[in-house]
DNA sequence: GCCCAGGTGATTA
DNA sequence: TAATCACCTGGG
């Protein structure tokens, strides 16, 4: 089936934007994404035109939402303050990035693992976790692995978790899973919480500080007002904004502005 | 061998 | 409140 996307949509940039760690560009030029028990391959075939290997029904019910295609990112870029030259340049360079609507539990575990790890190391650890405990799913005769369920992770010992290159994060994961089960927390019930209450709740998990909580809120709950401040963004704040947090000027879309700055700073280094 | 990688939690002053 | 440090592990 073919789909048309006229708004910002660059799959390379989305994969490299650091919000997802299981998506891949394949050797045949296709991009592969996984969410829940679904997988899709997307092949760009002409400007704005893509070939996808799922039904129209699945695209509309799963992937259209996943890629946040009802949001106008061009319009969001155009809302950037003209005086904010750095963000203007960052957004122009990074246009095509979208915030994926990912699973909140997967994001919680993923970003606990992410701390003090390089992106390839995060991908490696998540991959090992899926190999260890992910359900095998078939998509058109091709097998792939879902992200492990909370029940599966609950049954893993510390040693088994550590065998997935989690290091000291293994105990964070185990304690977080224990807390979820003991308190019978349903993370998808938290969609009604305010941004502030959500982040506060997330920070009650062991191994979740303000940075990870904001990542989970932004990528797992689509809280686009949350801008996680990591080492890269902190560099930008020091180098460009004289130590002042630039996101206070963008209360609604701070998280999207953060993505533009993060990608730009990592890709091209110090620019003012 | 040394340092850093999309941090957090504990300790200290 | 702010500064300092240990923590697993892989890669340059």
* Residue A18: nearest nucleotide (C-alpha to C1'): B6
Residue A24: enclosing H or E segment and its boundaries?
Answer: strand A24-25
**Predicted confidence band at A269 (pLDDT cuts at 50, 70, 90)?**
confident
A25 DSSP β-pair partners: A31
Q: Mind listing the pLDDT tens digit for each residue in A18-68?
A: 999 999 999 999 999 999 999 999 999 999 999 999 999 999 999 999 999
Asked whether residue A208, judged by its CB, lies under 7 Å from any atom of the DNA or RNA strand B, the reply is yes
Q: Mind listing the pLDDT tens digit for each residue in A191-238?
A: 999 999 999 999 999 999 999 999 999 999 999 999 999 999 999 999
pLDDT recorded at residue A270: 84
Query: Distance from residue A65 (CA) to nucleotide C7 (C1'), in Å?
Result: 38
Cβ pair A101, A68 in contact under 8 A = yes
Mean pLDDT of chain A: 96
Q: Mind listing the pLDDT tens digit for each residue in A101-111?
A: 999 999 999 99
Q: What are phi and psi of A215, to 5 degrees?
A: -65, -45
pLDDT recorded at residue A252: 97
* Residue A209: nearest nucleotide (C-alpha to C1'): B8
Cα A224 to the center of its chain, rounded Å: 12
Q: Two tokens at A53? A: 């290997």
Asked whether residue A102, judged by its CB, lies under 7 Å from any atom of the DNA or RNA strand B, the reply is no
Q: Mind listing the pLDDT tens digit for each residue in A172-192?
A: 999 999 999 999 999 999 999
Asked whether residue A169, judged by its CB, lies under 7 Å from any atom of the DNA or RNA strand C, the reply is yes
Asked whether residue A228, judged by its CB, lies under 7 Å from any atom of the DNA or RNA strand B, the reply is yes
Strand B bases near protein CB (under 7 Å) are 5-9
Residue A86 clears pLDDT 90, i.e. is over it: yes
Rg of chain A, C-alpha, whole Å: 19
Query: Distance from residue A46 (CA) to nucleotide B5 (C1'), in Å?
Result: 37
* Residue A262: nearest nucleotide (C-alpha to C1'): B6
Q: Closest Cα partner for A250 from A76, A45, A134?
A: A76
d(CA A272, CA A236): 9
pLDDT recorded at residue A2: 98
pLDDT recorded at residue A271: 78
Query: Distance from residue A18 (CA) to nucleotide C10 (C1'), in Å?
Result: 18
Query: Distance from residue A249 (CA) to nucleotide C2 (C1'), in Å?
Result: 26
Residue A272 clears pLDDT 80, i.e. is over it: no
Asked whether residue A139, judged by its CB, lies under 7 Å from any atom of the DNA or RNA strand B, the reply is no
Q: Mind giving me the DSSP string for A207-248?
A: T--HHHHHHHHHHHS--TT-----HHHHHHHHHTSTT--GGG
Which residues in window 236-265 of A are less than 7 A from strand B by Cβ? 262
Q: Mind listing the pLDDT tens digit for each residue in A113-163?
A: 999 999 999 999 999 999 999 999 999 999 999 999 999 999 999 999 999
């Amino acid at each position: 089936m073919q789909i048309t996307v006229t708004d910002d949509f660059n799959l390379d940039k989305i994969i490299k934007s650091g919000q997802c760690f299981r998506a891949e560009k394949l050797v045949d030029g296709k991009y592969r994404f996984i969410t829940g028990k679904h997988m899709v391959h997307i092949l760009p075939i002409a400007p704005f035109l893509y070939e996808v290997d799922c039904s129209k029904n699945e695209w509309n019910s799963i992937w259209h939402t996943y890629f946040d295609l009802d949001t106008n990112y061009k319009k969001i870029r155009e809302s950037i303050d003209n005086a904010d030259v750095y963000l203007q340049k960052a957004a122009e360079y990074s246009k095509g990035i979208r915030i994926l609507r990912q699973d909140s539990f997967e994001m919680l575990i993923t970003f606990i693992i992410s701390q003090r790890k390089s992106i390839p190391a995060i991908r490696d650890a998540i991959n090992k976790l899926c190999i260890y405990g992910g359900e095998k799913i078939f998509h058109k005769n091709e097998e792939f692995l879902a992200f492990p369920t909370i029940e599966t992770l609950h049954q893993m010992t510390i040693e088994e978790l550590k065998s997935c290159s989690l290091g000291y994060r293994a105990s964070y994961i185990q304690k977080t899973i224990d807390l979820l089960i003991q308190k019978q927390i349903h993370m998808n019930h938290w969609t009604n919480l305010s941004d502030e209450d959500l982040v506060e709740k997330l920070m009650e998990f062991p191994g979740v500080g303000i940075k990870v909580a904001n990542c989970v809120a932004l990528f797992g709950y689509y809280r686009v007002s949350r801008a996680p401040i990591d080492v890269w963004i902190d560099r930008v704040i020091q180098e460009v904004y004289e130590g002042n947090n630039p996101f206070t000027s963008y209360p609604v879309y701070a998280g999207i502005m953060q993505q533009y700055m993060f990608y730009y700073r990592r890709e091209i280094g110090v620019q003012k």
